[in-house]
Every structure is written in structure tokens, then in C-alpha cells.
Amino acid sequence: MLTRARTSGFSLIELMIAIAVLGALLAAGVPAFMNWIQNSQIRVAAESVRNGLQLARTEAVRLNTRVRFQLTEATESGWKVNPLDDPDRDPPIAIRTHSDGSGNVTVAALPAGSAEIVFEPLGTVSNSGGTAPLARIDFSNPLITSTDDRRELRIIISSNGQAKMCDPKVLTSNDPRKCP
């Protein structure tokens, strides 16, 4: 009597079904993953600018001098921190450029045309010089077309020098992410 040895493994049909299911899952997940990456870039850019503002305020207090935070590229998230009496100091106290990973992020400083803020030695915001200080910075990503998926963040700079990051889409009054 001749018996066949049983072989283990997958048949071609089983393998094709598994590949089709995997392809369908990838097709459904890739757009959401791409939106997540784009929204993460907004968060990275906003946190970087907020950290730069905090650094400028800290340096103003530490050095007991006026320190300037300046957005270096209007459509990107680059910034520079320098003492006001030496604004072109090279190298600056700190610098960041958009090539650090958030090149798709659009930054809008308000009031329009403002791109810098000066911190006094006590950490407050200076209003001298005749121009209104930078009061708000908005971050968005134009590559995300769906408004439901798009995350926008905002940094509000108060007159006492505090920089708060908030989400303009949050409307619940007791949510700490809500913008004032």
C-alpha cells in the first residue's frame, strides 16, 4: 500500500487571498497614516516655536538684557534668538530652520507683518519701538485637504511673556487645549 506524506504549508489560493486582504488593509490605512504624519509636523513646528519663545524669555531673565525672538522664514517654522543690542550676533544664542523636519507647515504671525517679539529682563513682552508685538502664531498644513482631518495649532503670547499652545477647533470651555 502506497501512502503519501502529508505536506504542510499554504496553497497558492490561500496565499493570494492573504495578499488581497493585506492590500485592502493597506489601501484603507495609508491615507490616515499620511494625515497623521502631516499633523505631527504641525505639532513639531508649533512646539519648536513655543520652545524658542520660552528660551528667549529665559535668556532675557538670565542675561538681564532685552532678548529678541524672531521668525526667520515667514512661511516656515524657522526662528532665531539673540540679544536686542546684538541682533545679528553670529552665531546666535539659538537658531532653528525649517529643514529640521517641518517644511510643509505654514506659519502665520499676527498682527500681520510682525515676525519678532522682544522680551524684557523681567521676562515680560516689550511694546516699545512703535510696533505691536507678536501676539499670535498660527500653524497649519495646506497638504491636508479635508478640514475634518486638518489639525491647526496656535500659540498665544501674553504681555507677561507666557506662550500658550492651543487648538482653535476645541470649543469646550473646560478643555485646557481651548484657545482664549
Higher pLDDT, 148 or 43: 43
| 17-36 pLDDT tens trace | 999 999 999 888 888 788 78
Please determine, for residue 15, whether its predicted confidence score (pLDDT) is greater than 80. Answer: yes
* CA dist 46 → 13, 31, 81, 114 (Å): 50, 23, 16, 17
Under CATH, what is the fold of the domain 12-166? minor pseudopilin epsh fold (3.55.40)
Q: Which residues pair with 172 in a beta bridge?
A: none
| 123-134 pLDDT tens trace | 998 875 545 556
The per-residue pLDDT for 131 is 52
d(CA 147, CA 139): 14
How many Cβ atoms are within 10 Å of 152's Cβ, its own excluded?
Answer: 17
- Stated pTM of the model: 0.74
Q: Residues 6 or more apart from 25 whose CB is under 8 A from it?
A: none
Higher pLDDT, 49 or 98: 49
Task: Tell me if residue 54 falls in helix, strand or coil.
Answer: helix
Pairing relationship of beta strands 67-71 and 116-119 according to DSSP bridges: antiparallel
The per-residue pLDDT for 130 is 47
Please determine, for residue 16, whether its predicted confidence score (pLDDT) is greater than 90. Answer: yes
Residue 160: closest CA among 130, 135, 132: 135
Q: In what order do the strands lie in the sheet with 153-157?
A: 106-110, 136-140, 153-157, 163-166
